[in-house]
């Protein structure tokens, strides 16, 4: 029997993308589409690309008999509701930010609110599947990573785990406008963003502590992290360019061996020989990684490209769903990228 699934926040970009993937998943059945707006309207009318959604599946307020609740909500909202779902025996996979940080005080500093369920942070498993799949398999509450942290960490994990770099890390990342969600602001209007690239959120972007937290766990100490995101005029796609000094004696062949070993059996991380392009991941759960050594300056330069709505959000959540319920991690995620 397919696992019954609800998506709370289904009218947003991430929620809609997750619905697209779930509707194609042979072992999942979407039984509830929940949102504050569009009550009573068919999902396929609200998300007009979801042609295979049944006419009877309408936007509602309850998760029904779902065994798994995916949440794609603004900061602070999933944490207000998760406890009730967990108490009902359901599994919760949060695409948002509510359970990513282990220290509740960080939510006050970076998100500007007091966490409504700080005790659940101890229960939550950080769901970067490539790092934590063993814990995901038994988790009841899974915190899906953010899009920028997914790219930054996948670019750096082999070097961090192998002790090849120091704690001085720079992440320069660029993302398409869908990462900002449905916000109607001047910054995201066509006339503002077209033919323009700009940085934002420095040094206070909310993904900064998430990258630092997971890097620290691998380094054994807090990194000195500078994270600079940029908004670029495309719908989808994200690339992270990461820089860190190499430890003494580290050579290019050491780096190549570490990356090959780390990702040789990963179903969605591919080591490429050329600079990765975001377009080569469009609509897919792939992450393309390319690492090289700037020998003159003894520095690692590592790139990761992905689709911010798939591997950076909904696809990663479905990969965690697969790991959690014992399905092959590729189930429902086999689609290759679109090109051109």
Q: Which of 196, 167, 224, 210 is nearest to 312 (CA)?
A: 210
Whole-angstrom distance, CA of residue 217 vs CA of residue 114: 24
Residue 292 to residues 173, 219, 228, 252, 273: CA-CA distances in angstroms? 17, 20, 21, 7, 10
Q: Which residues of 254-265 are buried (b: 16+ CB within 10 A; e: fewer)?
A: bbeebbeebbee
CB 147 within 8 A of CB 175: yes
CB 21 within 8 A of CB 53: no
Cα-flanking dihedrals φ and ψ of residue 270, to 5°? -120, 125
Cα-flanking dihedrals φ and ψ of residue 47, to 5°? -115, 85
- The one catalytic residue among 14, 18, 147, 231: 147
Mark whether 242 is an active-site residue: no
Catalytic residue set: 147
């Amino acid at each position: 029997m397919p696992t019954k699934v609800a998506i709370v926040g289904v009218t947003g970009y991430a929620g809609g993308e997750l619905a697209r993937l779930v509707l194609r998943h042979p072992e999942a059945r979407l039984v509830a589409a929940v949102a504050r707006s569009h009550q009573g309207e068919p999902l396929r009318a609200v998300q007009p690309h979801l042609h295979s959604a049944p006419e009877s599946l309408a936007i509602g307020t309850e998760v029904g008999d779902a065994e798994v609740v995916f949440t794609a909500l603004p900061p602070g909202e999933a944490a207000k509701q998760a406890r009730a779902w967990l108490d009902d025996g359901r599994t919760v996979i949060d695409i948002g930010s509510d359970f990513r940080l282990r220290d509740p005080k960080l939510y006050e500093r970076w998100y500007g609110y007091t966490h409504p369920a700080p005790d659940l942070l101890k229960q939550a498993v950080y769901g970067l599947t490539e790092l934590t799949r063993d814990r995901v398999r038994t988790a009841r509450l899974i915190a899906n990573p953010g899009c920028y942290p997914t790219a930054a960490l996948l670019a750096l994990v082999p070097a961090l785990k192998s002790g090849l770099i120091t704690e001085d890390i720079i992440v320069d990342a660029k993302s398409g406008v869908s990462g900002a969600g449905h916000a109607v602001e001047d910054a995201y209007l066509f006339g503002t963003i077209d033919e323009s690239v700009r940085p934002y959120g420095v040094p206070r972007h909310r993904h900064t502590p998430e990258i630092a937290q997971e890097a620290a766990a691998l380094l054994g100490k807090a990194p000195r992290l500078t994270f600079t995101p940029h908004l670029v005029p495309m719908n989808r796609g994200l690339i992270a360019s990461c820089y860190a000094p190499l430890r003494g004696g580290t050579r290019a062949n050491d780096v190549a061996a570490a990356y090959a070993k780390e990702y040789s059996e990963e179903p969605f991380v591919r080591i490429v020989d050329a600079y990765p392009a975001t377009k080569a991941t469009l609509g897919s759960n792939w992450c393309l990684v390319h690492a090289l050594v700037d020998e003159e300056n003894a520095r690692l330069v590592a790139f990761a490209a992905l689709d911010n709505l798939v591997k950076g959000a909904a696809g990663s959540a479905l990969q965690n769903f697969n790991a959690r319920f014992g399905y092959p991690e590729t189930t429902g995620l086999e689609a290759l990228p679109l090109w051109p």
